A and B are shown apart, each in its own frame.
Chain A
Amino acid sequence: MIRTFLFLVVYFVSVLSVSAQQNDLQSILNQNSKAVERASRKTLQPVLKSLIDSKLKEVPIFLEKWRAKKVWIRKSDKQFFYINNKNSTPIKLIDISSGEIVGLEPKNKLKQLKPNSGVRSIIASTLVQFQLIDIDKNRRLAALKAIERDANSSHLNALRATINKEPLPSIKARMLRLERLLTIRFDENPTKRIKAINGFAGDTNVDVRAALNPILQTKIAVSTILPEDKNIAKILKVGDSISTQVAYDILVKNKLAPAQISIQERDKSLIANIKNSEIAGIKTSTLDNEQSRIIAYQTLVKIGAVPDFVTNEQRAKSLKEFVFFNQYIETNKTVTTAAKKTLDTINARVKVFSFIDLGLDGLSLASIYFLAAIGLAITFGVMGVINMAHGEFIMIGAYTGYVVQQFVPNYTASIIIALPLAFIVAFAAGVALERLVIRHLMHRPLETLLATFGISIALQQLAKNIFGTQARPLTSPDWLGGSWVINDIISISYIRVAIFFLALAFLFLLLFILKRTRLGLEVRAVTQNPRMASSMGINPDKINMLTFGLGSGIAGIAGVAIGLFAQVTSELGSGYIVQSFMTVVVGGVGNIWGTLAGASMIGGLQKIIEWFNPSNTLAAQTYMIIFIIIFIQFKPKGIVALKGRAAGD
């Protein structure tokens, strides 16, 4: 008994006086040998502390070996060794200080230290401070990243100790930033924390918000009178900022008020008290409504079988005796105030940035709609023809891209080939449709609509028969993969940027064709007055054919662009057809600027509505369509309406 006691005293004294004794690594470990051998989360801290306090240069190597389960102990004299190859016989022992082989032992005389995963992660986080002063800059960076991911209070001092030794300015800047973040989280001096918090005003990075938000965490507390010493965020008014039910539940949880009897509990008690299909003399068959069940329960209360209901008056009375408030978990009021202020400036800026991001999203959607609709706008505007098969020309373009990729494996080359080829294929299909069908249905717009719908279902089914129903990939080249990230909030994928420029290119190309070429002149003439144009020597038949081909060809190119970010299916085009029509109608028929305005409005609007309710894109589309229906009430000719004779009837 006395021996045990003495042993314990010696043990604890030795643990506490490690740094004073200033020994080599082996002896430090021997003093703590039990804690090292059977390391657990609880016993680990003093060992690690004495190891670090010893300031021995072997310590980081030891910790790494320990974590990698390469530290063994010799059973006879409790000496520690490293073992690199445990399968050799006999096993070579490596000295933990010199790193040299100091002996050979059979395996059964040794025991491996196997720290569990919790211990290993604590060792790893202790190791970080050594890695921070490593000569290899990649290891220093890795250590920084490890702290950024998962920091604890010990890292703060380690970081502060190393910052001034850091030679590389880029890493130093990162360390300084991390030091401020850790100061916010772990420093005990409020002045330092507040200084660090104020330094982050307007910084929108996610890590700053992650450091600040926990400071502002609150919990609901209850008390009879408002405590002066607590850091109170907000006083809650029962029935207003906190519901009566929630408030009362808190009282019940804190045993400050009797529990309410819920309907389930009431029915449970009733069922428990059934005797011969009667409850306290009331037949169970009559209990098919709330009223009679309450009466039955009250009968049970009278005979003392169950606790009474808490009436609303009782509840209100109990609630009146207490005051509810939101209390910051952080106790220092100046810190929470500073954090709140900084977070407010950050949130204001986040809002601006997310609005810019929304604008970019809207712009990208608008350019997709523009590409999809511009071909339709040309045919609709010039010929007054509704082409329901327009979506299928988009589909033809996308499938052309897919087929090209089957033959040309280089994605960049295949896209460069696919774009003009898609135009040619869709142009040919468009001309064929115009020659074979639409020409015969001139001046019968509704019939054209239906006939082109027939073409549309036939083409869709043909595509299904040829390519199958499963989605086909149209892979974009690597340089279009990924996103352009400006900061944590604003980013846009390169494909969408490319589509934006493609749309822009088409805008200018079409403007050029229509305003500066002979073909454009003739197209505009036919648009305004076909008869007059034909008497001036223009062949309206030919112009119609070319216009229709042009519109269809552009749809083909749009198909390649859309296929790059969506899967290519036979329904690819039909998903865009209604939106395209609305783009044309909202914008104003027969006008490229109108289509641009329509696409911008629809794309932008859809994103804005999605912003209000981000989880529900279906609702956004629904509301947008309703908005368009109402919009057309007020501007039936669209945003950019043609005036004069050209407007027709």
Chain B
Amino acid sequence: MKTAFKNSFIYKNPSVLIFLSALAILTIGMTILSEGFGVGLVSTSFIKILGKTLCFCLIAIAMDLVWGYCGILSLGHFAFFGLGGYMVGMWLMFARTKDIVINSMVNAPLPPTPNEIRDAVGSQIFGVVGGSEIPMIWMFADSLLIQLLLVILVPGLLAFVFGYLAFRSRVTGVYLSILTQAMTLALSLYLFQNDSGLRGNNGLSGLQNIPGLTEVSQDIISVWFLWASAIALGLGYIIANWLISGKFGSVVRAIRDDETRVRYLGYTVEIYKLLVFVITAIIAAIAGALYYPQAGIINPAEIAPIASIYLAVWVAIGGRGRIYGAVIGAASVTLISSWFTGGQIPNISLGFYTIKWIDWWLVILGFGFVAITLYAPSGLGGLFDRLVRKQVNEESK
């Protein structure tokens, strides 16, 4: 029994338990302090920011797996994130519009037929892009279950096809990065079109209103989503650690360090890379599906290549090659970013010029990021590591 425990990956990765308990304390603490369930010390908007940050942490874990462990600098994972959001958004928007339409037709002389409801929903949703037909891709939008499946299937399939093509022709390094960036750009340009069937640059909106739960206030829903995001993040953390601790993880890390040598050892490198790519794409999509109901709106600009580069920046700042590094990076950058751009810090007046933090935050982030790349290549997680190791060393003395 004891040896079984010693061989289990949780024993090998003590960070899992620490992380999970920290996450639990945070979530329970915030619930107690929230407006919806607790004493109301923490505002609903902050709960939402926290929930969204947890989603970012989840996608950062995916990014860390694919880049930090497998060496594929993907500049396309935010596209999967966005796709996941779109899939869930379709249901949210369709079902809610349908509810509204049915309510508005209650007093009509004849009860509405399914066709009439469909037409009314179509013109409600697609009126902004000058249409009223419901496109084919909305075929399953009425069913939550199928749309949730699509959250996994659509990004997974895209990642599979793209990854298959890219890895098969052995595109590596910066070429692969540029290729993933091209894929992201193509997707976002496609979605920007009005006839893409996803409302062009209007995107999907009103996603914070959950169909059937219109009576429940946002104070409570925000806490539910905080819990959902926390659970997803916890599971993601466990799965990521489990993946990298076994033999699979060793092969993946070996591919990062010397792909050719792994190939000579008889491993089919492409399959490992493809697996990592697809799994992380799915994790990213799930994160997106949890994020956008909290954000309330999704539009193609969110998928633009720059978002994926920011994702890489989070992971690099947090320290890649460490799962907790990714989490630290994503959480710290997004929280500090929303702190700076939220106008909470007073502007500094120099007499001749006023430093507005909203204007200067990106400059600080940009140069700060360069500094971290130059002077602390292992990121914030590296600092954390050094502290822990010091302690361990002192204890062993």
A138 at the interface (CB under 8 A from B): no
Residues of B within 8 A of A581 (CB): 178, 181-182
8 Å CB interface, B189-220 against A: 189-190, 192-193, 195
Question: Can you list, as one digit per residue, whether each of A458-491 has a CB less than 8 Å from chain B (1) or not (0)?
Answer: 1111101100000000000000000000000000
CB < 8 Å neighbour of B113 from A284, A293, A445: A293
Closest-by-CB residue of B relative to A277 is: B109
Contact B175 A632, beta carbon cutoff 8 Å: yes
Known A441-B374, A461-B362, A625-B186; contact A632-B171, beta-carbon cutoff 8 A: yes
Contact B373 A441, beta carbon cutoff 8 Å: yes
B170 at the interface (CB under 8 A from A): yes
B110 at the interface (CB under 8 A from A): yes
Contact B185 A284, beta carbon cutoff 8 Å: no
Residues of A within 8 A of B377 (CB): 447
B169 at the interface (CB under 8 A from A): yes
A446 to B361 alpha-carbon distance, docked (Å): 24
A271 at the interface (CB under 8 A from B): yes
Residues of B within 8 A of A368 (CB): none
A457 at the interface (CB under 8 A from B): yes
Residues of B within 8 A of A386 (CB): 174, 177-178
A587 to chain B, nearest CB (A): 13
Contact B193 A271, beta carbon cutoff 8 Å: no
Residues of A within 8 A of B175 (CB): 585, 632, 636
CB < 8 Å neighbour of A628 from B182, B359, B363: B182
A146 at the interface (CB under 8 A from B): no
Contact B169 A446, beta carbon cutoff 8 Å: no
Residues of A within 8 A of B360 (CB): 461, 465
Contact A450 B185, beta carbon cutoff 8 Å: no
A455 at the interface (CB under 8 A from B): yes
A388 to chain B, nearest CB (A): 8
Contact A636 B109, beta carbon cutoff 8 Å: no
A134 at the interface (CB under 8 A from B): no
Contact A578 B189, beta carbon cutoff 8 Å: no
Closest-by-CB residue of B relative to A286 is: B111
A282 to B249 alpha-carbon distance, docked (Å): 69
Contact B183 A460, beta carbon cutoff 8 Å: no
A16 to B138 alpha-carbon distance, docked (Å): 74
Contact B362 A284, beta carbon cutoff 8 Å: no
Residues of B within 8 A of A293 (CB): 110, 113
A450 to B193 alpha-carbon distance, docked (Å): 30
Residues of A within 8 A of B174 (CB): 386, 445-446, 449
Residues of B within 8 A of A388 (CB): 309
8 Å CB interface, A589-635 against B: 616, 618-619, 621-622, 625-626, 628-630, 632-634
Closest-by-CB residue of A relative to B184 is: A578
CB < 8 Å neighbour of B110 from A271, A449, A618: A271
Residues of B within 8 A of A582 (CB): 178, 182
CB < 8 Å neighbour of A618 from B181, B192, B313: B192
Residues of B within 8 A of A510 (CB): none
8 Å CB interface, A267-291 against B: 267, 270-271, 274, 284-285, 287-290
Known A622-B186, A629-B183; contact A288-B362, beta-carbon cutoff 8 A: no
Known A288-B112, A625-B189, A630-B165; contact A453-B170, beta-carbon cutoff 8 A: no
Residues of A within 8 A of B179 (CB): 585, 629, 632
B314 to chain A, nearest CB (A): 11
A456 at the interface (CB under 8 A from B): yes
Contact A458 B367, beta carbon cutoff 8 Å: yes
Contact B110 A290, beta carbon cutoff 8 Å: no
A554 to chain B, nearest CB (A): 20
A358 to chain B, nearest CB (A): 21
A242 at the interface (CB under 8 A from B): no
Contact A284 B111, beta carbon cutoff 8 Å: yes
Residues of A within 8 A of B189 (CB): 618, 621-622, 625
Known A461-B363, A618-B190; contact A450-B313, beta-carbon cutoff 8 A: yes
A284 to B174 alpha-carbon distance, docked (Å): 67
Q: Helix, strand, loop or mixed for chain A's interface?
A: helix
Known A453-B309, A461-B366; contact A271-B373, beta-carbon cutoff 8 A: no
A465 to B363 alpha-carbon distance, docked (Å): 10
Residues of A within 8 A of B165 (CB): 629-630, 633
B168 at the interface (CB under 8 A from A): yes
Contact A456 B177, beta carbon cutoff 8 Å: no
Known A460-B362, A618-B193, A634-B169; contact A454-B369, beta-carbon cutoff 8 A: yes
B370 at the interface (CB under 8 A from A): yes
Contact B366 A455, beta carbon cutoff 8 Å: yes
A437 at the interface (CB under 8 A from B): yes
B115 at the interface (CB under 8 A from A): yes
Residues of A within 8 A of B313 (CB): 450, 453-454
Contact A459 B366, beta carbon cutoff 8 Å: yes
A504 at the interface (CB under 8 A from B): no
8 Å CB interface, A407-453 against B: 437, 440-441, 445-447, 449-451, 453
CB < 8 Å neighbour of A451 from B115, B171, B186, B370: B370
A438 to chain B, nearest CB (A): 10
B375 to chain A, nearest CB (A): 9
8 Å CB interface, A287-335 against B: 287-290, 293
Instruction: Identify which of A270, A446, A574, A636 gathers the most chain B CB atoms within 10 Å of its CB.
Output: A446
Contact B110 A437, beta carbon cutoff 8 Å: no
A457 to chain B, nearest CB (A): 4
A645 to chain B, nearest CB (A): 17
A24 to B231 alpha-carbon distance, docked (Å): 104
B282 at the interface (CB under 8 A from A): no
Contact A619 B113, beta carbon cutoff 8 Å: no
A455 to B369 alpha-carbon distance, docked (Å): 8
Closest-by-CB residue of B relative to A454 is: B369
Residues of A within 8 A of B166 (CB): 633
A455 to B371 alpha-carbon distance, docked (Å): 10
CB < 8 Å neighbour of A636 from B169, B182, B309: B169
A78 to B109 alpha-carbon distance, docked (Å): 71
Residues of B within 8 A of A449 (CB): 73, 174, 177
8 Å CB interface, B71-130 against A: 73, 109-115
Known A447-B377, A636-B169; contact A626-B366, beta-carbon cutoff 8 A: no
Contact B168 A633, beta carbon cutoff 8 Å: yes
Residues of A within 8 A of B170 (CB): 636
Closest-by-CB residue of B relative to A626 is: B186
B29 at the interface (CB under 8 A from A): no
10 closest Cβ pairs, A-B complex: A458-B366, A454-B369, A461-B362, A625-B186, A288-B111, A457-B366, A451-B373, A454-B370, A454-B366, A622-B190
Query: Besides A270-B110, A465-B363, A632-B175, 8 other CB < 8 A contacts?
Result: A287-B111, A386-B178, A441-B373, A451-B370, A456-B366, A578-B185, A616-B195, A625-B183
Q: Residues of A at under 8 Å CB distance from B?
A: 267, 270-271, 274, 284-285, 287-290, 293, 386, 388, 437, 440-441, 445-447, 449-451, 453-462, 464-465, 574, 578, 581-582, 585, 616, 618-619, 621-622, 625-626, 628-630, 632-634, 636
29 A-B residue pairings within 8 Å (CB atoms): A288-B112, A289-B113, A293-B110, A386-B174, A388-B309, A441-B373, A446-B173, A451-B369, A453-B309, A454-B365, A454-B368, A454-B373, A457-B366, A458-B367, A461-B360, A461-B362, A461-B366, A578-B182, A581-B181, A581-B182, A582-B178, A585-B179, A616-B195, A619-B193, A621-B185, A625-B182, A625-B186, A629-B183, A636-B175
